[in-house]
Structure 1
Amino acid sequence: MQYFDVDILAVADELIEAYVEIFTAPPWEHRNAEATWAEFRQRLEADAHRPGFRAVLARSDKGTVDGFVTGWITQAPFRTDRAYAKVTTRLGAERVNELLVGTFEVDELGVRSHARSTGLGRRLLSALIDTAPGGRAWLLAWSGAHDTLAFYRRIGWQEPDPISGNETDIVVFLSPGWPGNSSVITG
């Protein structure tokens, strides 16, 4: 495992190559590879400068990126771009501020198809969140990524209940090490 902060930009092309391969394959096959490359490069260049940004890469014996995970400390005010507005819709602004702001946000986790079912995803997540403030980390996933949702549930990540009637196409997960996890799940 290789650990990075803003220095991830020195290996950005390798990371982006893996990202595009992973996130243009099913269930994301509708995404255009060139547009995905450009969008993720732009995001990575900005995200690498976020407070608390960290990344972990796992390489194959040949030196290529087999998997990666990135994240940072969620800041106030809570963002409204990308899928963040759906998080607020799903949980409500008060719970978002209570549960997510100031905690470690896992932004991207990807494992190339040939490296899946090896425990790499779990190891990458653990390597990134082991130093999360107070053991608290969170992530969101698209509800259409059924294998991804099953993976997070299988390794102990838990979903806070959405506000009744405010379900969205994203699912929020809290890390297994979240203090008092069972009491925050139901709000």
Structure 2
Amino acid sequence: MRHFTQDVLDLADPLADAYAEVFTAPPWEARDPLETRAAFRERLERDVRRPGFRAVLEVSDDGGIAGFATGWITESPFRTDRGYGKVTERLGADRVSRLLEGALEVDELGVRSHARGTGLGRRLLAALTGTAADGRAWLLTWNRADDAVAFYRRLGWHEPAPLPGRETDVIVFLAPGHPAS
């Protein structure tokens, strides 16, 4: 397992290949692999510049990537692109500010099919979040990603309750060590 900051761009192509394999398999099978790969590769170029960006990769001797985790420190004001608007809708601006801003955001976590069931996902997540100040780490996932939701729950990640009537198709999880867990 190797830790990276902006130098993860040296492995951007094999990382994009791993990302596309993971995030075009069920339940994301409707996604086009080439488009998914290209969009991730482009986003990675921007993400490495975020405050506190870090990545953890399981890299084989031949340069293949079996699994990956990326994250950064969530800035204020809270973003509104991607799924972030749904996070604010679900939790409300006050809780977003209190629980998520300034915390380590786990942006991506993926394990390729050949490495599943080995504990790699757990190790990657622990390596990425182990340095979170005061245990303040969080992530979001799609509510139809049943395996991911079950995985986070098994590891003790906690879901802050949505505001009444504010269910969305994303679920927010707080790390087991998060002060609000």
TM-score (norm 2): 0.98
After superposing the two structures, state which structure 1 stretch, 29-38 or 53-62, moved more.
53-62
Map 1:28-47 → 2, pairs under 5 A:
28-47=28-47
In 2, Cα distance between equivalents of 1:90 and 1:127: 28
**Quick one: which amino acid aligns to residue 165 of structure 1?**
G
Map 1:64-143 → 2, pairs under 5 A:
64-143=64-143
Instruction: State the Cα deviation string for residues 61-96 of structure 1 (Å, max 9, x = none).
Output: 544100000000000000000000000000000000
**Quick one: which amino acid aligns to residue 113 of structure 2?**
S
Task: Compute the displacement of 1:38 (Å).
Answer: 1.3
In 2, Cα distance between equivalents of 1:30 and 1:102: 34
Task: Compute the displacement of 1:23 (Å).
Answer: 0.5
Matched, 1:25 2:59: no
- Matched residue pairs, number? 181
Unpaired segments of 5 or more residues in structure 1? 182-187
In 1, Cα distance between equivalents of 2:61 and 2:159: 36
In 2, Cα distance between equivalents of 1:8 and 1:52: 13
Deviating beyond 3 angstroms after TM superposition, the runs of 4 or more aligned structure 1 residues are: 60-63
In 1, Cα distance between equivalents of 2:82 and 2:143: 15
Matched, 1:164 2:147: no
Task: Compute the displacement of 1:60 (Å).
Answer: 3.6
Task: Compute the displacement of 1:179 (Å).
Answer: 2.1
Superposition RMSD in Å: 0.9
Q: Identity of counterpart residues, as a percentage?
A: 64
TM-score (norm 1): 0.95
